[in-house]
Each structure stands twice: as C-alpha cells, then as structure tokens.
Amino acid sequence: MSTRRSLLRDVLLTALAAASYGFAIGAVHSWLFAARNLIKFPLLILVTALVCAPAYLLAARFVAARLTLEEVARLVLGLYRDVSLLLAVLAPVCLFLARTLRPPDEGGLGEYPHFLGFNVLLIAACGSLALVRQTRMLLRGRPLTRRQGLAIMAAWLLLSLLVGGQWAWYLRPFFGVASVSGEATPFCLGTLTDYRGAASFFEAVYQLVDPPPLPAGYHLRGWGR
C-alpha cells in the first residue's frame, strides 16, 4: 500500500510541477494557451515517461546491464519527476519573461525566438542533469565499465529526445505566436504540417540542416510552436 501511495504521490507531483511550467511558457501567447498547457505539458511528460520505460530497459540489456523492469520504471519516474521539479522552480522566471518580452509585430517575431530557444535549452539542460543523476544512482555498484555506463546514458538520452520530440510535435503548439489568435488555433496540431511542410519532429529536424524553400506567399503570422 505504501508503495502505491508513493507512486501516486510522485505521479501527481510530476503532473503539478509540469503544469506550472507549461502555464508559464504558454503565457507568452495568451492566458488561453497558458491554460491549455496545464493539460498539455503534463501529458507530454507522463506519456514520454510511459513510452520510454520499456525502451530504456531494452537499451540497457543490449549494453549488457541486467536491470529489471521495476528498476527501470523507478528510474523513469524519478527522472521525469526531477525534470518537472527543476522546470517548476524556473517557471516564475519564464512567466516573467513571457509577459515582458517584445512581442511579434508586422516587422518580425520580436523576442519570441529568443524565448523559444531559451526554453528549449532549459528543458534540455534539466533533462540531461536529471538523467545523469538517476542513471548514476541506478548503476552504482553494478559490474559495468565506464564505457558501458556512458553508452547506457547516451542511449537513454537519445531515446528521451526522440520520443519526447515526436510527442511534443503532436501536441504542439505550446508557445504559439501572439499574432495568431488562440481561438483560431487547435488544441493540438497533431500531424498537420508546419510552415515548411514537415509532418513530424524528425522531418523538421532534418529541414533545419537542409531547409527547403518557403512556400510562395508565406507570411510570418503562420508560424508557431
């Protein structure tokens, strides 16, 4: 019973912490987007954790780490709880920036790209710190070489990026653009293509390396995350 209570407490704590951060970043567009993120960002965190647990286990066993599903599940829960708490601590800063930055106008996107980039780096940094901490705790005392430990950590980090990135793509927009009405924006864009025609996170990343030409008649007001 105590284990179930602990599990439920961690899940609720993760959801509440993720919701606070989601609210802060959504406020860069409007209070409507902020309210939507109270649901969307916890969904992003919890579904990513659920999908990553078995993937982490397979990756660890491929490297020769004998871990059980229960051990990996505890790691995943601890990892995404830590990420959410770290982001929640920084949510007041993000909310302040979201409401004070220079908004988009007809001449450009204002300071929105800086806010987006700042939060992408913030999520990446918090996720990496939490993953390193949880992985070191789990693998401590196990008969693994340093190379094997680093391989497991790198595999788990890559899996988190791929799963989280694609799920975030489906749930987008989290930030939005102030020049686009919130009422005119669906709750999530799902598989709809972006302004360059990308239909998935992976395609969008590829297009950062080899960007296609923008569609004829394209305007900045149609762009958003």
Read off the pLDDT of residues 150-187 as tens digits, 9 standing for 90 and up: 899 999 999 999 999 999 999 999 987 666 677 778 89
CB-side exposure of 29: number of CA atoms within 13 Å? 27
Give the CA distances from residue 61 to residues 69, 149, 157, in Å, rounded to whole numbers and listed in that order: 11, 12, 16
Give the CA distances from residue 37 to residues 42, 45, 101, 141, in Å, rounded to whole numbers and listed in that order: 8, 12, 19, 40
CA–CA gap between residue 161 and residue 156 (Å, rounded): 9
Q: Would you give the end-to-end CA distance of the chain in angstroms?
A: 42
Q: Is the dihedral of CA 178, 180, 182, 185 positive or negative?
A: negative
pLDDT score recorded for residue 177: 64
Question: Are 64 and 204 within 8 A, CB to CB?
Answer: no
Give the CA distances from residue 198 to residues 17, 161, 178, 184, 219, in Å, rounded to whole numbers and listed in that order: 31, 18, 22, 21, 17
Read off the pLDDT of residues 89-110 as tens digits, 9 standing for 90 and up: 999 999 999 999 887 666 667 7
Read off the pLDDT of residues 109-141 as tens digits, 9 standing for 90 and up: 778 888 988 998 999 999 999 999 999 888 887
